Amino acid sequence: MIYPWQTSLFSQIASRRAHLPHALLLQGCPGLGKTDFASHLAQSLLCETPQNSGEACGECPACRWYEAGYHPDFRWISLQEEEAVDEEPIGEAKPKKTPTQITVEAVRGLSGFMTTSTHRQGLRIILIAPADALNVHATNALLKMLEEPLPGTLFLLVSSEPGRLAPTIRSRCQNVSINPPTASESQAWLAQQGIKQPQLFLALAGGAPLEARRLATQDTGMRTNLMRQLSGYDVSLSQLSEQAIKMPTPEWIGWLQRWAHDLLEQKLVGHPRYHLDFSEALEHMARQADLYDLLAWERQLREARRLAHHPLNARLLAESLLIPCLAMR
């Protein structure tokens, strides 16, 4: 499926289906539905009787195979595929680790697919999402394929952080930017989805409607509790850290990063961007805070985010990141 803010872009790409390059890099911020768009595009390009609009018919053999998940001329490389490959043998149960990289084995596994004739005499499509999760060896393996593209083959790369992709990969793809809708369009769509306070959750999501919907539907009040304690006067460092580590480490660091950005924006432009429901507290803290201290804290949070999936001690990490903020209350 595609979303209302993607229909114009889809029409532009579908209208030149016979003249597409061998690789498209679909890029944009998280929460815009880039992977859904890529999947929708792949089905429409594989469809044997597409509609005049370029949409897949949904009825031909190619569409039925695609919807069932086993079209012979389509491959999808993702972190979920890595998780399936890395499953432990049956035995003592161990906690599963969420893969963070796409490995070279996943890319090399395409070799047979790439050298076999297509089953339906149409396109051969490889979707890689998120492409910025490719590790160094996987990148090198993919680069060889992009340097010598086979006729009738299309790579669809999806990335929220294209800067993490090797320049050699980016240079061999045609960039396609998926832009967020306007605030009014996003809020209207969120309201149609039954989301209360769409303006707040859209702000928390940085303007990305799908991320706003996720935040709203999964909201447990932990963010609100953390921010309330953070802006209070009678909460100790140990209580703050205890509240923070109730959430996954990347999540609470992300909320602190948004809080730091809000303090900077409040100080520099006079209003916050993310935590709109704490605007008064942010205004007070911004008056107390030193600009250079804020910039140093924001840099500290940014560096901590890189290691968020592998913290040595979550409580100590939380305390070290919360201390700079306590002086601003």
Model confidence band, residue 171 (pLDDT cutoffs 50, 70, 90): very high
Place of tokens 């969420």: 98
Q: Mean of the pLDDT values across residues 201-230? A: 95
pLDDT of 311 over the 90 cut: no
Say which residues have a Cβ less than 8 Å from residue 42's Cβ, sequence separation at least 6. 66, 74, 125, 127, 156
**Three-state secondary structure of 128-144:** ECCHHHECHHHHHHHHH
What domains sit in the chain, N to C, each tagged with a CATH number? Answer: 4-177 (3.40.50.300), 220-326 (1.20.272)
CA distance 255 to 322: 12
Crossing angle for the helix pair 222-230 and 237-244, nearest 10 degrees? 160
50 Ramachandran zone, left/alpha/beta (phi>0; psi -120 to 50): beta
Average pLDDT of the chain, as a whole number:
91
Q: Mean of the pLDDT values across residues 113-131? A: 90
What are residue 159's DSSP bridge partners? 27
SS3 203: helix
SS3 180: coil
Token couple for 318: 């939380």
Residue 40: predicted pLDDT: 97
69 residue type, one letter: G
Longest Cα–Cα distance of the chain, Å, equals: 70
Q: Residues 27-43: pLDDT tens digits?
A: 999 999 999 999 999 99
Number of neighbours of residue 50 by Cβ within 10 angstroms: 19
Q: What is the DSSP string of 255-318?
A: HHHHHHHHHHHHHHHSS-SS-GGGHHHHHHHHHHS-HHHHHHHHHHHHHHHHTTTS-S-HHHHH
Residue 28: predicted pLDDT: 95
pTM: 0.86
pLDDT of 88 over the 50 cut: no
Q: Say how many Å lie between the first and final Cα of the chain, rounded.
A: 46
For residue 26, give the nearest of 38, 15, 44 by alpha carbon: 38
Q: Mean of the pLDDT values across residues 317-322? A: 94
- The more confident residue out of 119 and 200 is 200
Q: Residues 249-281: pLDDT tens digits?
A: 999 999 999 999 999 999 999 999 999 999 999
SS3 182: coil
Q: Mean of the pLDDT values across residues 103-107? A: 95
Model confidence band, residue 284 (pLDDT cutoffs 50, 70, 90): very high
- The more confident residue out of 314 and 21 is 21
Residue 237: predicted pLDDT: 93
pLDDT of 91 over the 70 cut: no
- The more confident residue out of 91 and 34 is 34
Residue 90: predicted pLDDT: 47
Q: Residues 64-84: pLDDT tens digits?
A: 999 999 999 999 999 876 555
Specify the range with the lowest mean pLDDT, choosing from 169-178, 232-241, 279-288. Answer: 232-241
Say which residues have a Cβ less than 8 Å from residue 124's Cβ, sequence separation at least 6. 73, 74, 113, 114, 118, 150, 152, 153, 154
